[in-house]
Amino acid sequence: MDVIERYLDEVLVANETTNLTRIVSRESAEILHIEDSLSGMKYMDEAPDGPYVDLGTGGGFPGVPLAIKTGRETLLVDSVKKKTAIIQGIVDKLEIENVSTYAGRIEDLGREMPAHFAVATARALSQLPSLMELAAPLLVDGGLLICYKSHLSEEEREHAFSLENKLGLKCIHEDIFTLSDGETTRCMFVMKKFKDPDVKLPRKTGLAQKRPLK
Ligand code: SAH
């Protein structure tokens, strides 16, 4: 059986005792976790060679499917230790050797591993300005930030564009499409690091999400 399918099965079993995902039916998980996660593949291929980080990974999406498909060295980050411990256990059991987990804040990872990752993803984590601020210090020059958004308001979009210069990230793709259930809209917002940020990052832990830059 395909490793991605086996991974999903393990997550759904673990989810019966620990809250990893709201999606509990196998059928909808197939679309909303696997198909959706893999919809980022074409952007992953555009990123420079090098390690990949999934920010706020939760149950390992989109991180694990993309790690398996790309074979990139992958780090799954979540501040909730209980989640990363379960994911690490599943990854070990299935012998997915290119994946490891980091139990901690994205801001702390930014201090520990600055300019280390060639590509970052974030799904259902925060608004674009916060994602840009969290990812900027982690990426190498030319590295990509792939944001999976369900809905993007004009205000959020404009705010993101207004921070491009300050944060050194430029939008290179903005795609909207529907998943195969015919009803789930996915909006992909892909940014490329073109220079170091003008501000010193990470700021104090929590600020990127609580008080986004103007
Ligand atoms: N990406 C997954 C989970 C989304 S929920 C999915 O799409 O299914 C968002 C996750 O991000 C939560 O598990 C939360 O614990 C984590 N998170 C939020 N802010 C964080 C931060 N600053 N550092 C690390 N993890 C964070």
* Each residue's pLDDT tens digit, 32-53: 999 999 999 999 999 999 999 9
Whether the Cβ atoms of residue 51 and residue 73 lie closer than 8 Å to each other: yes
* Each residue's pLDDT tens digit, 114-149: 999 999 999 999 999 999 999 999 999 999 999 999
Whether the Cβ atoms of residue 11 and residue 60 lie closer than 8 Å to each other: yes
DSSP string, 10-59: HHHHHTTTS---S---HHHHIIIIIIHHHTTHHHHTTSPSS-EEEET-TT
**For the chain, which domains are there?**
2-210 (3.40.50.150)
170 CA distance to ligand 1 centroid (A)? 23
154 CA distance to ligand 1 centroid (A)? 24
Which tokens belong to 61?
């999406």
| Average confidence (pLDDT) over 20-33 | 93
Q: Which atom number of ligand 1 is nearest to the Cα of residue 54?
A: 1
Whether residue 89 has pLDDT greater than 80: yes
How far apart (Å, rounded) are the C-alpha atoms in residues 108 and 19? Answer: 24
- Ligand 1 pocket by Cβ (under 6 Å): 21, 56-59, 61, 77-80, 83, 105-106, 123-125
Whether the Cβ atoms of residue 136 and residue 193 lie closer than 8 Å to each other: yes
43 CA distance to ligand 1 centroid (A)? 21
Q: How many CA atoms lie within 13 A of 127 on its CB side?
A: 20
- 3-class SS at 128? helix
How far apart (Å, rounded) are the C-alpha atoms in residues 170 and 139? Answer: 13
Q: At 178, phi and psi to the nearest 5?
A: -115, 140
Whether residue 188 has pLDDT greater than 80: yes
In order of 42, 60, 106, 160, the CA distances from 133 in angstroms are 24, 22, 10, 10
Is-above-0.95 flag for pTM? yes
131 CA distance to ligand 1 centroid (A)? 11
| Average confidence (pLDDT) over 162-174 | 98
**Best probe residue, ligand 1, of 79, 111, 146 (max atoms within 8 Å of C-beta):** 79
- Band (24; pLDDT cuts 50, 70, 90): confident
